[in-house]
Structure 1
């Protein structure tokens, strides 16, 4: 399949805590969770965690052995946990975590996995887009964000409210009745949303971190069919340009209250899926992987 990617850090002088990558049959996208200024028991940081976990996922997906996506995620979480359990208190809720979204072509099926609030949009030929996202983070967060949303971004009051919000959310991380993210426990993989669709009915798939999906779910600048049309016309970077324009026009979050005035934004657009019925018997059409910066 062809994969076109675009990513942009929230600020040029800060590390991008999103991660996306592809192998010939699959794509992963991760959005790291953490906040500068809050305490953490990990020496490595969020960007380190998302890159390590993303790399571990890609290494397993490259095997193209059809293994269950929840098993792949659980093994990758365990591998990264082992990489820093001797130096960090990885069980503490302040340790790095990440959303995980996986899209994979598996013979004539398209498999997906979604853990936490990144977004997968499946572009069904002749039908409305199908949006897959784990809404438990937002369901919990909506109970605690009023004070944060009532203060302008960049103010001391907002910074304080944001730290308090993050600390409160950590109490609900990876607990029944709360929300689930990739961190130290491989068992959370079983909490992910998973599914499978026939490849024959798909024109494409888009994976978005919440910094990119805010074009629709926070800013309401376009519905999902319009987002897909824009990506087809301008590539994933067209979405990021519009998100950045909207953020710059509302730096204090008065029109669109939000935790971060600017956020890391990443998209991966998948098209030209393999034709398993190719006449030459190979089962694949030519593949291309492209990265936009």
Structure 2
């Protein structure tokens, strides 16, 4: 297998809360989330959570090739919970969470799982690109983020509105009327988007955090097909560089309202055999 991977934190002085890794026949990408500067009940932090969950999940995918991906994720969530339940409050409403994208080859097929607003792009041999992403968080967020989008990114007023928005989102986390995300509850994995694609129909796949897909779904500077073509031709790092250029050109979020002026961005490109 041939893998290209690039990941950048939002800034050089903060931890990268994205995590990505690959092994023979499997790849994972996670985008951790928490309350910036706020209490989460976890002394380890969001970056620890996403990296630890990602590592356990990848190991489970490889070690248990017959286990469905949702069950692999449930097992990984349960395992990570056991690692810090004695030291951390896993019942805290703002405990660390993470999106998850996972892909694994088996018996002529590529199985995939997507939970949260990261994305999986499937490039077929006929040149078409299919996108799998979980929009439940975005759909809920659109109903709550009016002030966040109306105020300049980085201003005190924006920070206050963002804190209220995140609190409101937390109340809807892992609820039928809200959205599902990997956190303390293994049951969330059973609400992921899952599927299978014939392996011989695919040329390659890309796993992307929403900090990287901004080029399409926030900035509208490219189509999904154009973004995938950029990754395939010039590599994941170039795609992230173009995201950074766009962010730098709109630091106050006037053109593109957003919660964070810059976000962690990660891209994995997997060329299939």
Shorter-chain TM-score bucket reads over 0.9
Deviation at 1:64, TM superposition (A): 5.4
Match of 1:118 in 2: 118
Contact 2:232 2:269 in 1 (8 A): no
Deviation at 1:55, TM superposition (A): 0.8
Contact 1:38 1:163 in 2 (8 A): no
Compute the TM-score of the two structures, normalised by the length of structure 1.
0.91
Q: Take 2:189 and 2:83, find their aligned partners in 1: how far apart are those partners?
A: 18
Deviations 1:236-267 (A, max 9, x none): 11110000000000000000000000000000
Match of 2:97 in 1: 97
Q: Take 2:39 and 2:162, find their aligned partners in 1: how far apart are those partners?
A: 13
In terms of mean alpha carbon deviation, does 245-254 or 127-136 score higher?
127-136
Q: 1:64 to 1:74 in 2, by over 3 A?
A: closer
Secondary structure at the aligned position of 1:152 is classed as coil
Q: Take 1:231 and 1:91, find their aligned partners in 2: how far apart are those partners?
A: 39
Match of 2:134 in 1: 134
Matches within 5 A, 1:216-231: 216-231=216-231
Deviations 1:56-107 (A, max 9, x none): 0111122252211011000000000111111111122200000000011112
Matches within 5 A, 1:165-180: 165-180=165-180
Check if 1:159 corresponds to 2:162.
no
Secondary structure at the aligned position of 1:190 is classed as helix
Match of 1:54 in 2: 54
Contact 1:23 1:61 in 2 (8 A): no
What's the Cα RMSD here? 1.0
Contact 1:41 1:88 in 2 (8 A): yes
Unpaired runs of 5+ in structure 1? 274-293
Unpaired runs of 5+ in structure 2? none
Larger Rg over CA atoms:
1
